[in-house]
A and B are shown apart, each in its own frame.
Chain A
Amino acid sequence: MHEAGIALNLIEAVERRLQAQTDARVAVIHVRVGELAGVSTEALDFAFQCLSAGTRVQGARLVFEVVPLMLVCDACGVTSRVVDLVFRCPACGSEKTRVSTGRELEVRTLELAEEHEVAHA
């Protein structure tokens, strides 16, 4: 349960990016989370809702893109999806593999609310 700290980092990162945009409000925050990021999107969403109250990003919706856990084999070069948490290469059996995707944990983009949406808010 370290999603609260990650939610705070998320809020800070978005607020920093918004500095130039004087009174823009954020409608949607796109977040990429790898399958092996070690983060629960539900817990992160809940922490964000709690911790964003009173900040510039209050009311924003988090949209998660879950990135599949993929391996690249350094021996044979094959890229494969990790099945049953076996990190050996399924093509050649080599142990010399690297995780190519699936460890992501980042804010990608923001969608700012239109003026009339702000008025309704």
Chain B
Amino acid sequence: MHEIDVKAGLLEPNDAIARENREFLAEHGIYAVDIMSAPGSGKTSLLEWALPALADRYRLAVVEGDIVGNADKERLDGFGVPVYQINTGAACHLDARMVHPSLHRVAEAGAEVLLIENVGNLVCPAEFDLGEDDVVMLLSVTEGHDKPKKYPLMFRRADLVAINKVDLLDRTNFDLPGAIGAVRDVHPGVAVLTTSCRTGEGIEDVVAWLEWRIAAKRAALQHARAGAAPAGLAT
């Protein structure tokens, strides 16, 4: 039997476009955050808090990923921020190729910060790099404290986990310390915050975290440009 080598990564077609997206975002000085969670965990509600909190300091844009419809876009249209809807048709997640055309529109709009709301799903979005700088993940109290160990890949992708709907803690048997412990088992060192998109509790912490990350990206890009400039002049 004749055997031949292939050595082809099966996510490479997506990863290649994600790398292009990441370069495009860096070129245009745009910070991008991918917001992921199960359906109904509060992604759009978080944006309803975050957009007004960030809009006076940054030019924002939103990409909304949904299987069908534009219900979420309609919720966000009143904030004076451009919102681009992507309908995935049947696909249960955004991928780098789907997002790519909207990045050009985001850059043309002059945005500095892009907030991407992924399709509500704890499984598939974790596999697909979009080229984003950070992943913010929501785990809502009503989903249960057992989720980190049931969906480890998603929790490992997250740079920030916000445990949302904490206003409902006393109505449920959600074990908050247990949930935080499970998140830290699966992803040691990840940032964990608690929020309520109903009362606004903890939202300022998420906004502060985002501002810190935006500043970090700007500093990194400036550093890279400062390093690249003399070499460019010399040639």
Q: How distant is B129 from chain A, measured CB to nearest CB, in Å?
A: 12
**Bound-state Cα–Cα, A36 to B153, Å:** 7
Contact yes or no, A108 B7, CB < 8 A: yes
Chain B residues contacting A39 (CB-CB under 8 Å) are 127
- Which residue on B lies nearest to A9, using beta carbons? B10
Of B2, B12, B13, B92, the contact of A111 (CB 8 Å cutoff): B2
Q: Does residue A60 face the partner (Cβ distance < 8 Å to B)?
A: no
Chain B residues contacting A21 (CB-CB under 8 Å) are 4
Of B5, B7, B152, the contact of A85 (CB 8 Å cutoff): B152
- A27-B1 contact in complex given A85-B152, A108-B7, C-beta closer than 8 Å: yes
Contact yes or no, A38 B127, CB < 8 A: yes
Contacting residues of chain A (7-59) with chain B, CB-CB under 8 angstroms: 9-10, 12-14, 16-17, 21, 24, 27, 31, 36, 38-39
Q: Does residue B177 face the partner (Cβ distance < 8 Å to A)?
A: no
Contact yes or no, B185 A105, CB < 8 A: no
**Bound-state Cα–Cα, A86 to B123, Å:** 19
Contact yes or no, B11 A9, CB < 8 A: yes
Q: How distant is A101 from chain B, measured CB to nearest CB, in Å?
A: 14
Interface residues on B, range: 20 to 34
Instruction: Name the prevailing secondary structure of the A interface residues.
Output: mixed
Chain B residues contacting A17 (CB-CB under 8 Å) are 4, 6, 8
**Bound-state Cα–Cα, A95 to B185, Å:** 9
Q: Does residue B217 face the partner (Cβ distance < 8 Å to A)?
A: no
Type the 1/0 row for A96-113, where 1 means its CB is closer than 8 Å to any CB of B.
110000000111111111
Of B10, B128, B156, the contact of A106 (CB 8 Å cutoff): B10
- A38-B1 contact in complex given A13-B6, A17-B8, A87-B156, C-beta closer than 8 Å: no
- Which residue on B lies nearest to A113, using beta carbons? B1
Contact yes or no, A107 B6, CB < 8 A: yes
- A108-B6 contact in complex given A9-B11, A38-B127, C-beta closer than 8 Å: yes
Contact yes or no, A112 B123, CB < 8 A: no
Selected A-B contacts with CB under 8 Å, 6 pairs: A1-B123, A9-B13, A10-B10, A13-B10, A16-B8, A38-B126
| B interface residues (Cβ-Cβ under 8 A, vs A) | 1-13, 91-93, 95, 123-124, 126-128, 149, 152-153, 156, 184-189
| A interface residues (Cβ-Cβ under 8 A, vs B) | 1-2, 5-6, 9-10, 12-14, 16-17, 21, 24, 27, 31, 36, 38-39, 84-88, 95-97, 105-114
